[in-house]
Amino acid sequence: MKKVTSAATLMARVALCLFALFVLVPYGANAQDRLELSNPTVNDQPNVAVTLSLTDEHGLPVTDLSSSEVRVTENGVSQPDVEVYPYYEQATPINVVLALDTSRSMRGKPFRDARQAAHNFVDNLALNDKVGVVSFGTEAKLVTPLTGDADAASHAIDSLKLSPNTALNDALVVASREASRGPSPHLVVLMTDGANWKSTLSQSEALEQVNALHVPVYTIAFGKHANTQALETIAQSTGGKYYEASNGNALKDLFGNISQQLHQGYQLSYTSTTRASPGSPVTVRVEVRRDGVVSSATFTYAYAARAQTDLPASPIHTGNLPLVNPGRSAEPMHATPLTRFGPPILAALGVLALCGGLFLAGTPSRVQRRLAMFVSPFSYGPRRQTRTSFVGDLVRPLTRLVSGVVLRVLPAGQQRRMMDALASAGHPRGMRLPQFVALKTAIGLLAGVLGALLTHHALLGPLWFAVGFYLPDIWLSQRVKQRRKKVLLQLPDALDLLTISVEAGLGFDAAMQEVVHKWDNEIAQEFATALGEMKLGKSRRDALRGMSKRVSVQEMQLFVSAIVQADEVGMSIGRTLHNQAEQMRLRRRQRAEELAHKAVIKIIIPMVFFIFPSLFVVLLGPAIPVFMSAFKAMGH
């Protein structure tokens, strides 16, 4: 029996290996481009247009597609004069209407996540693009019509209020009507976490009105209770796409992916030569042939009566959404005011500061690290022993002991967040995760003991421990914020130096090395870290994306995405750097103008409460006795 079982096991393993060799390997070898079609426009027949997006086997967008590589057939008949235009070369704006679910089921974190994702979508629109906002709860309401004012749209999103029920079908019609008021291309992005409830229109009636407007609807099922079947039907019927988002981060990524797909796609247009009876279906097949591999997709439209004369093919212009969704920059974290706990907390904080200073006393400064980096490789003779202090000799074994115990208790997710925060802060004073955890524990224990002793309440010890344990997190968040500001200020100049170096003949890695040699700042440290990772075997793409994740600045994400895309598709690095440098300077000027405009508003508060009262006292003060004497005379 054992022999039979072992033989069966051996045969199963052999079959699995054969399956991997003859099925999985050919599939991986013949991985081809992925072609998707959306937003068909056939209301101007015989002119037909459709949005085309093409990605390679790695999931990266294909940006060098030409008309000669595309073939279109209608009912099996090849169509002439096919034109393909990339979206990013057009200047016509895109009109997008956001239809957001504001039912009571969205209360709490889902509603905050939805508004945050909508804010990111609005922030990433191009200057000429327009956006409208529709909310649907008890009723579908147009909160703001199509507008190019991003601030107005953001204010409309902030003003959304929750209400019972979900009028999804009504919102579908209201949003589509508003989107159709703008020129093509236009679309609706509809997000909901539930199903239609108490709409005045049924789904079939709503789809009939939307299809007559020729507005594609991109539907997003948010959470686990959304009616996925109804949302899929809406997307398929209108020529849009269907997505699912299980949480707030996934919803934010989906909004970014929609923007990215709109920008990285192509607009395919041609003049149909098909002749048929009105109302008969016309099946369109689009084939893309690249490097001997053919990718294809189809869609169907209803034939309409048209003139017999052939009209010249006219390209359908598109909008210009940003290439990459950078997401929002990290918001500052503010410390909770502790003064209300009374004078004992002041003494406790003084002792904590003293302990922290002793803990960090043995860490070399930036000047010492630079001297060690440049001088030690060229020193001659026997190397001197590094002098250590008594505090350092005492703290190091305690740090290993405490961190080893605490790290076993802390969740892996919290450890990962602390490691990411330390990396984003540039590892201040060379601090790593064990040292940071030991510092948090030491400050927490000291705060708990001192708090209990000074307040004479032993039960408050855990509260003081929690306060002390999270104080280093506040300090670290401030370091991260400061470092991101410095990187944001240094990046335009670094891009200029990179551009000059590459145009002078250096490679991209050598240009980054030149920045590291010339400068001693945060951007040079990040470049040095990325170069070190590449020397250890990481690919350039992974090293640059790691740098973008550590810095988490929108401009850095745009720069890294542009370099990675140029490297993948074989574009000129010099030209890409030149374009990025111009965009960085433009964004820096726009940021300065934004701060200047905000300063005008912010200065109103001190003027009203401090400057104007002083002026009134100076100007009207001498006249007050005169007025009082005049009023007394009138009384007599």
How many structural domains does the chain have? 2
- Does residue 415 sit in the same domain as residue 463? yes
- How many Å apart are CA 559 and CA 578, to the nearest integer? 11
Q: State residue 133's pLDDT score.
A: 92
CA–CA separation, 57 and 59 (whole Å) = 6
Report how many helices (DSSP H) and strands (DSSP E) the chain contains, helices first.
22, 14
For residues 161 and 213, state if they share a domain. Answer: yes
Judge whether residue 20 has pLDDT over 60: no
- Residue 616 forms part of a structural domain: no
Inform me whether the pLDDT recorded for 559 exceeds 80: yes
d(CA 162, CA 449): 46
Contact indicator for 312, 271 with CB cutoff of 8 Å: yes
Q: Which residue has the tokens 């209407």?
A: 97
Residue 251 token pair: 């919803």
Q: Are residues 159 and 240 in the same domain?
A: yes
Q: How far apart are CA 125 and CA 146, in angstroms?
A: 13
**In angstroms, rounded to a whole number, what is the distance separating the alpha carbons of residues 140 and 143?**
9
Per-residue model confidence (pLDDT) at position 8: 44
Same-domain pairing of 264 and 408 = no
CA-CA distance, 381 to 51, in Å (whole number)? 70
The pLDDT value given to residue 588: 80
> pLDDT category, 570, cuts 50, 70, 90?
confident
598 pLDDT band, cuts 50/70/90, is confident
**Helix, strand or coil, per DSSP, at residue 270:** strand
Give CA 19 to chain center in angstroms.
Answer: 40
Same structural domain for residues 294 and 418?
A: no
| Residue range 170-184: mean pLDDT, rounded | 84
Within a domain: 626: no
Residue 339 has a pLDDT of 39
Distance (Å, rounded) from C-alpha 635 to C-alpha 333?
Answer: 61
Q: How far is CA 257 from the centre of its chain?
A: 9
* Whether 318 and 454 share a structural domain: no
Asked if residue 73 belongs to a domain, the reply is yes
For residues 127 and 258, state if they share a domain. yes
Tokens coding 60? 């990266």
Distance of CA 590 to the CA centre of its chain: 20
Q: What is the pLDDT of residue 395?
A: 62
Q: What is the mean predicted confidence (pLDDT) over 610-634? A: 84
Evaluate whether residue 232 is within a structural domain. yes
Distance CA 109, CA 168 (A): 21
Cβ neighbourhood burial of 385 (10 Å; 0-12, 13-18, 19+): exposed
Task: For residue 165, give every residue at least 6 positions away whose Cβ sits within 8 Å of its Cβ, in sequence order, or none.
Answer: 103, 137, 138, 197, 198
Do you find a cis peptide bond into 185, omega within 30 degrees of 0? Answer: yes
Q: What is the pLDDT of residues 109-121, one digit of tens each?
A: 888 888 888 888 8
Supply the angle between the helices 433-455 and 412-424 in degrees, to the nearest 10. 100
Residue 628 in tokens = 């009082």
Which residue has better confidence, 242 or 459? 242
Specify the pLDDT at position 255: 76
CA 188 – CA 240 distance, rounded (Å): 9
Q: Mapped to the 3 state alphabet, what secondary structure does 10-59 carry?
A: HHHHHHHHHHHHHHHHHHHHCCCCEEEEEEEECCCCCEEEEEEEEECCCC
Contact at 8 Å (CB) between 230 and 203? yes
C-alpha–C-alpha distance, residues 500 and 574, integer Å: 9
354 — pLDDT class (breaks 50, 70, 90): low
Q: Name the residue among 151, 51, 52, 153 with its Cα closest to residue 96.
A: 153
CA pseudo-torsion sign 564, 566, 570, 576 = negative
Residue 230 domain flag: yes
Domain boundary among 297, 327, 357: 327
Report yes or no on 374 lying in a domain: no
**Residue, of 352 and 208, whose pLDDT is higher:** 208
Asked whether residue 316 carries a pLDDT value surpassing 60, the answer given is: no
Looking at residue 463, its pLDDT comes to: 83
Q: Do residues 143 and 101 both lie within one domain?
A: yes
What are the pLDDT digits (tens) for 56-83?
A: 665 566 767 778 888 899 988 999 888 8
> Residue 6: its pLDDT value, please?
47
Are residue 106 and residue 244 in the same domain, yes or no?
yes
Residue 215 and residue 115 share a domain: yes
Which residue, 296, 327, 358, sits at the end of a domain?
A: 327
What pLDDT, on a 0 to 100 scale, did the predictor assign at position 382? Answer: 38
How sure is the predictor about 396, in pLDDT bands with cuts at 50, 70 and 90? Answer: low
Say if residue 542's pLDDT is above 70. Answer: yes
Neighbours of 596 (CB within 10 A): 9
Task: Tell me the mean pLDDT in the region 130-151.
Answer: 87
In this predicted structure, which of 368-382, 446-460, 540-554 has the lowest mean pLDDT? 368-382
Q: Partners of 219 in the beta sheet? A: 190, 242
Instruction: Copy the structure tokens of residue 54.
Output: 């093409």
48 vs 344, more confident: 48
Q: What is the pLDDT of residue 57?
A: 65
Spatial contact of 39 and 294, defined as CB atoms under 8 Å apart: no
* Positive/negative CA dihedral, 558, 561, 565, 567: positive
Which of 270, 297, 327 delimits the end of a domain?
A: 327
* More confidently predicted of 204 and 328: 204
The DSSP bridge pattern shows strands 95-101 and 130-136 to be parallel
Q: Tell me which of 399-403, 502-506, 527-531 is least confident.
A: 399-403
- The pLDDT of residue 329 is 35
pLDDT in tens, 407-444: 777 788 888 888 888 888 888 877 788 888 888 888 88
Domain with residue 261: its CATH number is: 3.40.50.410
Please give the pLDDT value at position 545. Answer: 84
Residue 236 resides in a domain: yes
Whole-number percent of the chain with pLDDT over 70: 75
pLDDT at residue 344, rounded to an integer = 55
Amino acid type, 403: S
Q: Are residues 576 and 482 in the same domain?
A: yes
- Burial of 209 by CB count in 10 Å (0-12 exposed, 13-18 middle, 19+ buried)? middle
pLDDT above 90 covers a percentage of the chain that reads 1
The overall average pLDDT reported for the chain is 75
**Predicted local distance difference test score (pLDDT) of residue 27:** 37
Q: Which domain holds residue 299?
A: 32-327
Cβ partners under 8 Å of residue 133, min gap 6: 97, 98, 100, 118, 142, 143, 144, 153, 156, 157, 160
Please tell me whether residues 357 and 402 are part of one structural domain. Answer: yes
In a domain, 530, yes or no: yes
What does the buried/exposed string (b/e) look like for 71-108 if buried means 16 or more CB atoms within 10 Å of the residue's CB? bbbbeeeebeebbbbbbbebebbbbbbbbbbbbebbee
Q: For position 571, what pLDDT does the model report?
A: 80
Whether residue 376 has pLDDT greater than 50: no
Sequence-distant contacts of 58-66: CB under 8 A, at least 24 apart = 58/568, 60/565, 60/568, 60/569, 61/260, 61/264, 61/265, 61/565, 62/33, 62/290, 62/569, 63/264, 63/565, 63/569, 63/571, 64/569, 65/266, 65/288, 65/290
Rounded Cα distance, 353 and 346, in Å: 11
pLDDT at residue 379 greater than cutoff 60: no
Residue with tokens 């060098």, as numbered in its chain: 64
> How confident is the model at residue 73, as a pLDDT?
92
